[in-house]
A = this chain, B = another copy of it.
């Protein structure tokens, strides 16, 4: 392929697609990992630098297999974007043990498996970027985040631990604290059907910030930043 390779774990409509488009337009080959195996609007058929793979981010073996496939088809992964997330909400009475575990698997264990596989490879090459789609729930719990907050906070401190371990080896780990509702067909229809445009975060803008992070010089890396729409109450 020649170009750099970006793997997106948790590809899908909305933010996953925005990451894909922004990194493709920046010249990256794309490995798209999702439960459905969806690709970027069928682009896989015409564009050899876009490849889609089925995997379950909450299952380390499945995830590592898919990442290995990305590498065998496109080459070493330069940038991995960890975008998998169950985003299930509920009180302690609503959330079952299975949900609690599954949230953690997709949010934290999958990132661990990713780093376990790619960390040593990136360390050997002396470069690499790991970007995580995070949330404010990573910083504090709330009434409805019985499962979500523990999953996201585990993800964030794991990312923090990875940043400190892998940074000196040339690997940039960055955590996006996305604070607001992303503009997708789903959120527009189900979650916030009556909100104006300015209520939403445009996914392409999150992806642009991620691209900026991927391009930061190693003398001045950002580990963590927040992103929210200008009118958000916070």
Where the two chains meet, the residues of A that have a C-beta atom closer than 8 Å to any C-beta of B are 60, 91-93, 95, 97, 100-101, 104, 108-109, 112-113, 115-116, 119-120, 137-143, 145-146, 149-168, 170, 172, 183, 198, 200-202, 205-206, 208-209, 212, 216-234
Closest 5 CB pairs of A and B: A141-B161, A141-B160, A205-B220, A225-B225, A150-B154
- Which of B91, B100, B104, B155 is in CB contact (< 8 Å) with A165? B91
Which residues of B sit under 8 angstroms from A160, Cβ to Cβ? Answer: 140-142, 149
Kindly state the separation between the CA atoms of A33 and B12 in the bound complex, as whole angstroms: 45
Known A-B contacts A141-B158, A157-B153, A161-B142; A167 and B225 likewise in contact (beta carbons under 8 Å): no
Known A-B contacts A161-B149, A162-B141; A202 and B220 likewise in contact (beta carbons under 8 Å): yes
- Minimum CB–CB distance from A145 to chain B (whole Å) comes to 5
- Minimum CB–CB distance from A3 to chain B (whole Å) comes to 22
Q: Do the beta carbons of B145 and A231 come within 8 Å of each other?
A: no
Which residues of B sit under 8 angstroms from A168, Cβ to Cβ? Answer: 230-231
- Minimum CB–CB distance from A137 to chain B (whole Å) comes to 7
